[in-house]
Structure 1
Amino acid sequence: MERKKIAFFCWESMYSERVGGLANAATYVAQELAKRNDVHFFTRGDCDFTFNGVHYHGVRPEGGNIIEYCRNMSHGMVNRFKEFDRKPFDILHFHDWHVTEALHLLKERNTVFTYHSTEYGRNGNQHGDWWEYHEICGKEWYAGLVAKQVTTVSNVLREEVMNLYQVPDWKIRVFPNGVIPEQFDVDLDQGAIKADLGIHPYAPTILFIGRMAYQKGPDLLLDALPRVKDQFWGMQVIMAGDGGMRPWLSQVAYDRGLPVRFPGYISDAEYVRLLKAADLVVIPSRNEPFGIVLPEAWSAGKPVVACDVGGLHENIESYRDGIKVEVSADQIAEGICQALEDTDRLPKFGRSGRSKVYRQFRWEGIAENLDCMYGTVCS
């Protein structure tokens, strides 16, 4: 395959400013592409550096609100891009709405725009009259209009984008997010980790990891826990991650006497450790374009109970590699109880999920398919 010069535009990366799962997705696919291409990554940061074959170029934006901030960031990215465009880039790949103005300024080039989610999905229809909501939706619509090629991370998100923004079906393709399963498939003793956490080795331990936001459904999980607590002795729950709902969730758990701990933002190493401590991973999202926690949990050999939405709906085969439930506290409780009642079945779910990861969600194969698609955009 002919070597290409590729520019990524993304407001976060794993090695500079990092906000959520977008950083991992964009960074890992850039690294895979860099094994056979020249990849430059324009993002927020204070310096330029090269790591794992990718050339990172930082900008430091400013603005009185998120819209002004991203406009300033996009202009800064385009200025930096021009410094390295003497030998012209073959492909310009833009990730999510934050960089739409950069896409606008470079719209005559070979452009690809990826929806990792939509503002409609992130806010769970709770937008009211927020002016920012309408501004962001407008940028998402415009990006789908002017980009030469559009991609999404799941078929459900593809349908959502087509319905919301009238992107034609011939223009939009699906490339799932991936994982590096070896990062999670490590030899750690579950009992020893539980002991370090002050948890009895036989106590059923549930893990939630994600933003403490309405979209991710942490409140649904809390509402499900009283029934689980009554049925399973010693149940312990770890809800890791940060976000606006965290103080309220912590107070609710305390008021209800629920055995939940909130460690806040955790490192990647601690995440792997907590996955190994857990008996079950619960993903109670109301909206989930892909759901990266799913293949990460599977990579660690862990079973999952997840709401039947988005990428979770597409990728889980219920009662084979996990349990899918409706988006409600009662159904989440039912799914957790079903999972914990059958301790023989749980490891089988985890093993089936891990096998699926190696078949479908390794970054090498995803990047290879994406690289082939780039060739069609260039032609």
Structure 2
Amino acid sequence: MKLLHVIPSLAKVKGGPTQILLEVVKALQDKGCNVEIVTTNDNGSEVLDVPLYQRVQYEHVPVWFLPRIFLPMKEFIFSTALTSWLGQQLKEYDLVHTHYLFSYAPTCAATLARWQNIPYIATPYGMLTPWALNHKRLKKQVYSPIERHNLNQAVAIHCATLEESRDVRNFGVQTPTFVVPYGVHLPAYQFQSQQRIRQLYNIGSETPIVLFLSRLHPKKRPDLLLQALSRLAALNHNFHLILAGSGESDYLRYLINLVASLGLAERTTMPGFVTGVEKDLLIQGCDLFVLPSFSENFGIAVAEAMAAGVPVIVTPDVQIAPDIAQAKAGLVVKGELDALVRAIQELLIFPNRRAELGENGKRLVSRRYSWSAIASNLTSIYTAIGQGKRLPVPR
């Protein structure tokens, strides 16, 4: 069976879906799958420096890159070249797996797959949560009938959590769903990470580091975290915040001004988008990880923090929150200021509590979020679809 994954962009600045898909394809290759990716050369406000119109090895996986056309609706990521490529090449594949919603590439791929009688699977990446549907609501209201039709015509929909499966049903989609969580890239071990990260950012050796590592976007609520830390600073708690990530320039300016107005400038570092060794250092060198998001389909960075033995604080809207609560791998609190203040305060005061939660998180990740196990589940799903059988229940 020859598989094609379709995604609008593989730019790292696009966050979780890019990393997830690259790791999925690597793991599928390890299982012997014949799998490729097709995408555009989008890289946010720029384009990736990659060969076009040819199969290349990118991050150790086979990828076809096609040129995007820049439009005012930049998240749509339109590409006439991708349309032509799919029209000509799609018949070479036995199954198509689309990634993301409300974007041109997966919509085009689903439409052309139907015309050519090729089965396709869709992964929504949390785009059907109530918060996500209300964000840029007019655009999504216009696009929703197209997306609903595409999803209803798919052979299956891949959900990362049971909650996402419910979101699919609430969107008016009756296609069978299967739940396979995303896996976690285990960071390369960084020797003396706590000392090195403090030297890198000039942080005192006894100062606990609070890490926020995600796209800087209103959905992720870094502003709520800043307000909570302002309260704790007024109570003379010792901490340093690392607010890592990239985002729209207007929102970045808002956050910078908020840091200053709350008197947190000397307690806050904003290193921008981080990857590679610096990202691994941040995750392994921090003392606690906080993501008070309005809506989060999975939260790859949260799982990476748990893999490194770091206790996490999340809201119930991070959809792996039930796993975190059951495993006692972190604190799940309402997305309200007082609740967040109390949770951070608890972990700042009690290092033994941090260590306990962190060890539980490592066990959770090794048991549930292994890429090898996830690839095995996906392979069984793909095989069943290719053979016209009922979907197996992932284990």
TM-score by length of 1: 0.89
How far apart, in 2, do the equivalents of 1:28 and 1:288 lie? 19
Alignment of 1:357 with 2:365, yes or no, is yes
CA distance in 1, matches of 2:253, 2:6: 33
Mapped partners of 1:126, 1:119: distance in 2: 11
Against the structure 1 CA distance between its residues 358 and 185, is the aligned structure 2 distance closer, same or farther, given a 3 Å change threshold? farther
**TM-superposition CA deviations, 1:166-221 (whole Å, max 9, x none):** 222x601111111122x254433312321331111111210001112121111111
Equivalent position of 1:211 in the other structure: 215
Instruction: Give deviations 1:348-379, integer Å, cap 9, x for gaps.
Output: 21111111111111111101100100112112
Task: Give, in whole Å, the separation in 1 of the partners of 2:312 and 2:242.
Answer: 14
Q: Is the 8 A contact 1:190 1:276 kept in 2?
A: yes
C-alpha distance in structure 1 between counterparts of 2:75 and 2:365, whole Å: 39
Structure 2 residue aligned with 1:41: 37
Displacement after TM superposition at 1:146 (Å): 1.4
Contact 2:327/2:360, CA 8 A, preserved across alignment: no
Higher mean C-alpha displacement, 258-267 vs 345-354: 258-267
Aligned pair in 2 of structure 1 residues 122, 273: CA closer, same or farther (>3 Å)? Answer: farther
Alignment of 1:25-104 (within 5 A): 25-35=20-30, 36-45=32-41, 46-47=50-51, 48=54, 49-51=56-58, 54-66=61-73, 69-70=76-77, 72-73=78-79, 76-81=81-86, 84=89, 88-97=92-101, 98=103, 99-104=106-111
CA contact (8 A) 2:2 2:34 kept: yes
Q: What residue identity is the alignment partner of 1:59?
A: L
Alignment size in residue pairs: 366
Of 277, 285, 289, which aligns to 1:281? 289
1:7 aligns with 2:4: yes
- Provide the secondary structure at the position in 2 that maps to 1:237: strand
The answer on whether the counterparts of 1:95 and 1:114 sit within 8 Å (CA) in structure 2 is: yes
Structure 2: gaps spanning 5 or more residues: 42-49, 388-395
Shift of residue 8, structure 1, vs aligned partner: 0.6
Q: CA RMSD in A?
A: 2.3
Q: Does 1:333 align with 2:328?
A: no
Contact between 1:281 and 1:303, CA under 8 Å: does it hold in 2?
A: yes
1:279-315, Cα deviation, whole Å (9 max, x unpaired): 1100110111111112100111111111122423222
Determine if the alignment matches structure 1 residue 242 to structure 2 residue 246. Answer: yes
Equivalent position SS for 2:164:
helix
CA distance 1:279–1:267, shift in 2 (3 Å):
same
Q: Could you tell me how far 1:325 is from its partner in structure 2?
A: 0.3
Determine if contact 2:228/2:338 at 8 Å carries over to the other structure. yes
User: Which deviates further from its counterpart, 262-271 or 224-233?
Assistant: 224-233
SS in 2 for 1:289: coil
Which whole-Å CA distance do the structure 2 matches of 1:68 and 1:104 have between them?
Answer: 19
Report if the CA contact (8 A) 1:204-1:232 is conserved.
no
Structure 1 contact 156–310 (Cα < 8 Å) conserved:
no
* Paired residue secondary structure (1:116): coil
Against the structure 1 CA distance between its residues 255 and 85, is the aligned structure 2 distance closer, same or farther, given a 3 Å change threshold?
closer
Flag the 1:252–1:53 CA change in 2: closer, same or farther, 3 A: closer
* 1:114 matches 2:123: yes
Tell me the residue number matched to 2:390: none
Whether 1:171 aligns to 2:176 is: yes
Residue in structure 1 matched with residue 298 of structure 2 by the alignment: 290
Matched-pair contact (CA < 8 Å) for 1:12–1:18: no
Distance 1:186 1:346 in 2: 20
Match of 2:307 among 299, 303, 326: 299
Distance 1:152 1:41, change over 3 A: same
Is contact 1:67–1:132 with CA below 8 Å preserved after alignment? Answer: no
Give the Cα separation in 1 of the matches to 2:276 and 2:145: 34
Give the 5 Å matches for 1:120-139: 121=130, 123=132, 125-127=134-136, 130-139=137-146
Cross-structure match for 1:344:
352
Amino acid at match of 2:356: K
Letter in 2 for 1:222: L
Distance 1:189 1:354 in 2: 17
Query: Which position in structure 2 is the counterpart of 1:376?
Result: 384
Q: Which residue of 2 aligns with 1:367?
A: 375
